[in-house]
Amino acid sequence: MSRYVQEMELRSHKPEPVGDASLEKWESLGQGGFGYVYKARHKDLCIDVAIKILRDGISHLLSLQDEAFYMDIAPCDFVVRVYGTYQGCPPGLRSTQQGLVMAFMERGSVESLQKKLSGPPPWPLVCRWAHQVAQGMNFLHSRNIVHHDLKPSNVLLDGDLNAKLADFGLSRVSTSVLNSNRETTDGIEGSYKYMPPEAFEVSYEANRSFDIYSYGILLWSIITGKEPYPSASFALVEIQIPKGVRPTFESIDQMSEEGLKELVELMKKCWDGTPSERPPFKNCLEVTENVFLKYKMAILDVVGQVLTKLSPTSYQSNTPWTRNVSQQPPEQSIDTVDTITERAPIRESVRITTKAKAKFVDDERPSLIQCVAEVMAITEELRDMVSHETYSKITVAGTNQDKVRVLYLTALHSGGEVVKAAFYDALKKHEPRLVERLGG
């Protein structure tokens, strides 16, 4: 089958339209250069979704069907999932609007997190983002898709702070607007600060090297936690970037983390002024993977630290990592359905649901990592749910804490509620006092 026929068949499958009848509990999340973003509840799917509504006056610049098409044919762990196109009238508006319905990324974007943290996140998370963005971009380029607007606000974060790419269809509007209406560029959320020098030519057509340059600037922003050229206008950037000006290294020179040197060298190669000298993302991955592997085992703890900082009262808001073994939940936050407590001991006739077991395993992750002693016995109990490769990794891990971390990062992370529930059952069998002490 020819490539043309394959693409035509793909295009014949259009994402499902989503209307107001399928949505409820609308909530405004903010606005950007292209429009407004809402959160809503999808009645049929029973999940929260994000809805991006285009501003009046720019919807004619692109086809929403094309945007949805590109996102639909790019199923990747590091690309935001699209559920369909939207046409309807959101609460508070009087006219019919068009937009996209996408997976809701509850932790916002890299940009919004940087603002909340007032700086860069812990170094292991920096390394993971660098690698995940490179993985997502390599995937898009392998599908002949150019993102064209890679920047911190377009790298979204899920509940565990995993990075996912968004807006690689809407991005085609960005350069069109930038090149045709220079006076309005300050409203395009600083996209011009991530554009390569050759892109400031009116006749320029984007290709893969555009994204690679943007990735270099993005790396700088992720590492420093800052915006490049914070006070520079479009006119100034347009003049200085082709001359070789790049973000300052003042804050980077004060850092000493392992792997920093490799990421900085990659950054400089990516933002090279000559497009042909920039490395493809496949080559970038060789660097980012080696750096990330140095910190992979520390990710769970680091994510917990960041989420705790974001949500100081995280137990009440169902965010884990703030409780330890000695802590007991406040009385007003006890869930008499999903938890076992001294106040409401569970009867033998009442069974804990799979969902409740999985929630316990998620919520008590830090305590379980620190306290589980019978790791291998529990792993054996899971049997086929743990692959041979994962079993080998658990076996060679140094301490019990390392073994549990590997189990969380592999089988428990990818297996969903079923595997977590099986882990809970095995935990209950081999570590009953620990489970009881944790309120399970």
- Residues serving a catalytic function are 149
Handedness of CA 370, 376, 377, 379 (dihedral sign): positive
The Cα-based distances of 230 to 78, 186, 251, 399 in angstroms read 28, 12, 15, 45
How many of the other CB atoms lie within 10 Å of CB of 38? Answer: 24
**What is the number of alpha carbons within 13 Å of residue 239 lying toward its C-beta?**
4
Phi, psi of 205 (to 5 degrees): -115, 130
DSSP string, 28-89: EEEE-SSEEEEEEEETTTTEEEEEEEEPTTTGGGS-HHHHHHHHHT---TTB--EEEEEEE-
Q: In sequence order, what DSSP letters do the residues of 282-326 get, joined into one string?
A: HHHHHHHHHHHHTTGGGHHHHHHHHHHHH-TTTTTTT--SS--TT
User: Which token pair is 119?
Assistant: 């700086």
* Bridge pairing between strands 163-165 and 155-157: antiparallel
Distance CA 116, CA 161 (A): 14
User: Using CA atoms, how far apart are residues 282 and 404, in angstroms rounded to an integer?
Assistant: 31
Q: If 0-12 CB within 10 Å is exposed, 13-18 middle and 19+ buried, where does residue 126 land?
A: buried
Residue 160 is encoded by which pair of tokens?
């565990």
Q: What is the C-alpha to C-alpha distance for residues 364 and 369, in angstroms, rounded to an integer? A: 9
By DSSP bridging, strand 82-88 and strand 17-18 are: parallel
- Signed CA dihedral, 289, 127, 244, 204: sign only: positive
For residue 12, what is the enclosing H or E element? helix 3-12
Q: Which residue in 149, 146, 163 sits closest to 214, CA to CA?
A: 149
